[in-house]
């Protein structure tokens, strides 16, 4: 992912979890934006063998400039839940 700007649409966020996702029910990103607001984005599973999930941003996702924190939650069919480590990325202000 290159630089992300306020208002960007279609930006792909991808996480490699290095774990098998066979039997997964849901994958979600939990987001805390710079202003403290929270969001939940439903992921697409790109690879069940290497554990790659992704999300393509829609209008309104990047509405605040600053640091965003992201954590992935995986829920499997047997009810088990896995949380990734928290990571962060920056959303930049536009210059106009």
**Nearest Cα residue to 55 out of 75, 30, 79, 35:** 30
pTM: 0.91
The pLDDT of residue 75: 97
Taking Cα atoms as reference points, which of 96, 73, 75, 94 lies closest to residue 3?
94
CATH number corresponding to 4-92: 2.60.40.1220
CB 80 within 8 A of CB 73: no
Phi-psi region of 18 (alpha: psi -120 to 50; beta: other; left: phi over 0): left
Closest listed residue to residue 57, CA positions, set 12, 26, 4, 92: 12
Residue 89 is predicted with a pLDDT of: 96
Domain boundaries, the chain: 4-92
pLDDT tens for each residue of 49-90: 999 999 999 999 999 999 999 999 999 999 999 999 999 999
- Please list, in sequence order, all residues whose beta carbon lies within 8 angstroms of the beta carbon of residue 96, skipping any fewer than 6 positions away: none
In the structure, what pLDDT confidence band is assigned to residue 5 with cuts at 50, 70 and 90? very high
């Amino acid at each position: 992912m290159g630089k992300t700007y306020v208002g960007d649409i279609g930006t792909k966020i991808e996480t490699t979890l290095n774990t098998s996702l066979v039997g997964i029910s849901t994958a979600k990103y939990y987001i805390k934006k710079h202003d403290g607001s929270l969001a939940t984005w439903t992921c697409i599973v790109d690879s069940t063998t290497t554990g790659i999930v992704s999300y393509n941003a829609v209008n309104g996702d990047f509405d605040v400039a600053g640091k965003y924190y992201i954590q992935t939650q995986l829920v499997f069919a047997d009810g088990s839940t896995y949380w990734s480590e928290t990571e962060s990325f920056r959303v930049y202000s536009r210059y106009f």
